Amino acid sequence: MILNNYILSDKSREIEEMEDEFQLMYLASTIVDGTFNFFKIERKISNVGKPPFDLKDMIKLIFYGYINKITSTVELAYNAKYNHLYNLISHAIEPSDRTIRDYCKYFQSIYQLIMSFILIVANRIGLTDFEHIAIDGTIKNAYNSSFNIIKEKDISLLIKHYMVEELTKDEIKKLRRTARKFLDDKSKTDEEKIEILFHWWQLLDYSGQVSLALNDHDARLMKVKDNGQKYPKFSFNIQLGTDTKSKLICGVNAVQNPTDHYQIPALMNQILVNLQIKPQKISADTIYSTLANLQYLEELGITALIPTKQQNRENSGNLPDNPFAIDYFVFDEYKNVFICPNNEELTLDGAYNAPQEKGGGNKIKLVYSNYQACKNCKYKGKCYTSNHRTITRYVHEVTYKVERLMSTKDGIKDYKLRSKTVEAHNGTFKRIYNYDCLPIIGLKRVQNLMFTIVASYNLIRLFNLIKVNKMDLHSVISSIKFISLT
């Protein structure tokens, strides 16, 4: 009896999984149809030669492959022939793996529109209002071996070899392996090599770096965490904006800048296009707390939830061990003084214009001190090593407004939603989609790859939200069809 019950439950679970798989396929097909209708996507084709595969069917095939974590074009071509669900969603087309690669290369930007349409649907069927978007960045490794690079000094020596005088044996020994391989290459003439070397030199001059990835010229050296330490690797900086309520990704931007300091405007411009509505709040880590970012959000009328370094340490309970660190100097806003750990007041000495920040705008540099109190202080030599202790504060109307908000209970409460939202995606993309190992090179293709991955992730997330909220799938499908026509 127990065995029979086990077999029945196992079969029912299998049937339920098959139903879910079919429903997911049906939803994916409807979303692609809706995207083509909503954004009026059409493909112009000539009457010359063999007619190509239908664009919508090819997009459905590739999209459904990514939904099932299939990024190999060979595996996808096999499924198109022998898997009934892939056969069903793509109307029985059987493209070769080379054809699929071509469609991925030339039409992958369509997935940004699919991503946008999913977000519009989620909003209009009441799953989220996109009030609060959390922003974070992660590093994606470039598809380039750490040995397949060339350095500025190697290029300089090679130019000298071909244009001034041949290198000595000792100078050749100093070249990296890639430079020696280039030197020994007999398939190119000296003129062709000189042209390549000057092209590499221009790329390095443009990037501002001293090393060039030979396989992917768009990649930049960035510090990547590996076993608790950071090592420079050729990578791309992936910026993500995620809705705190639905956990849907609202924007993804691949950039070459190794830091996150000035990335909010570009990402937010994309988010506004994708959502077609304006979020009310944006939360981000301390590194985004630059005047350019905060002024941009202020002009849009969006509340910024970005703590200062000191507020971040306080909120995380990671205060420094040094009892005389700036974290233990209390600022009295009413009196405009800092109160030190010895209960003395450091008053304002002067206000100065700080150097202009990148992106425009100046902060005011405020310096606080109390020479007489420090002169007679019992902590002399511990709190400071010079004549007296000074506290320097950089302020601006916009930054001060954000700082005050992040000192309130409501500001701290809203900001805590960020950590529950942004951390999961990075691990999903690395371990499940394995995007570090995909043979995709070039900034534009990496950007389009991220659109495809995020669109497939959002589709799965939308499907799960429909189930969690116990919404009738057929009613949702009808709503999607209606939305696509409006």
Give the pLDDT confidence of 324-347 residue by residue, as tens digits: 999 899 999 889 999 999 999 999
Closest CA to 108 of 68, 154, 62: 62
Domain locations along the chain:
16-127+441-484, 149-213, 311-396
Q: What is the pLDDT of residue 80?
A: 94
Closest CA to 120 of 281, 240, 273, 303: 273
Q: What is the pLDDT of residue 3?
A: 45
Q: What is the pLDDT of residue 10?
A: 55
Residue 362 pLDDT exceeds 80: no
Residue 306 pLDDT exceeds 80: yes
Q: What is the pLDDT of residue 345?
A: 93
Closest CA to 121 of 34, 22, 225: 34
Residue 460 pLDDT exceeds 80: yes
Tens of pLDDT, residue by residue over 116-135, are 999 999 999 999 999 999 99
Q: Which two tokens stand for residue 118?
A: 């999913």
Q: What's the average model confidence in pLDDT over 374-383?
A: 88
Cα–Cα distance for residue pair 387/379, rounded to 1 Å: 12
Closest CA to 357 of 392, 399, 301, 391: 399
Q: Which residue has the higher pLDDT, 6 or 149?
A: 149
Q: What's the average model confidence in pLDDT over 138-158?
A: 91
Q: What is the pLDDT of residue 360?
A: 64
Residue 481 pLDDT exceeds 80: yes
Q: What's the average model confidence in pLDDT over 87-106?
A: 92
Longest dimension (CA), the chain: 92
Cα–Cα distance for residue pair 311/403, rounded to 1 Å: 8
Q: What is the pLDDT of residue 119?
A: 98
Is 266 in contact with 118 (CB distance < 8 Å)?
no
DSSP state of 41: -
What angle (nearest 5°) sits at the alpha carbon of residue 63, between those of residues 60 and 66? 150
Amino acid letter, 284 = A
Q: What's the average model confidence in pLDDT over 351-367?
A: 81
Residue 74 pLDDT exceeds 90: yes
Antiparallel, parallel or unpaired: β 303-305 and 364-369 = unpaired
Q: What's the average model confidence in pLDDT over 430-455?
A: 88
Cα–Cα distance for residue pair 422/263, rounded to 1 Å: 16
Residue 96 pLDDT exceeds 80: yes
Q: What is the pLDDT of residue 32?
A: 97
Is 121 in contact with 135 (CB distance < 8 Å)?
no
Closest CA to 231 of 150, 148, 139: 139
- Where is 234: in which H helix or E strand? strand 229-243
Tens of pLDDT, residue by residue over 42-65, are 888 776 656 789 999 999 999 999
Q: Which residue has the higher pLDDT, 81 or 435?
A: 81
| Rg, Å, the chain Cα set | 28
Residue 83, phi then psi, degrees to nearest 5: -105, 125
Is 248 in contact with 119 (CB distance < 8 Å)?
yes
Look at 26-30, 142-146, 226-230 and tell me which has the smallest mean pLDDT: 226-230
Tens of pLDDT, residue by residue over 27-40, are 999 999 999 999 99
Q: What is the percentage of the chain residues whose pLDDT exceeds 70? A: 94
Residue 11 pLDDT exceeds 60: no
Is 96 in contact with 75 (CB distance < 8 Å)?
no
- What DSSP letter does each residue of 114-169 carry, written as one string? HHHHHHHHHHHTTS----EEEEEEEEEE-S--TTSEEEHHHHHHHHHHHHT-PPPH
Tens of pLDDT, residue by residue over 161-170, are 999 999 998 9
Q: Is 465 helix (H, G, I), strand (E, B) or coil?
A: helix
**77 CB contacts (<8 Å, ≥6 apart)?**
94, 95, 96, 97, 99, 100
Question: Helices 2-38 and 110-124 sit at what angle, rounded to 10 degrees?
Answer: 110
Residue 240 pLDDT exceeds 80: yes
Cα–Cα distance for residue pair 417/245, rounded to 1 Å: 9
- Where is 408: in which H helix or E strand? none
Antiparallel, parallel or unpaired: β 364-369 and 345-353 = antiparallel
Is 227 in contact with 237 (CB distance < 8 Å)?
no
Q: Which two tokens stand for residue 36?
A: 């083509």
Is 262 in contact with 284 (CB distance < 8 Å)?
no
User: Mean pLDDT, the chain, as a whole number?
Assistant: 89
* Global pTM value: 0.89
Cα–Cα distance for residue pair 180/177, rounded to 1 Å: 5
Q: What is the pLDDT of residue 8?
A: 43
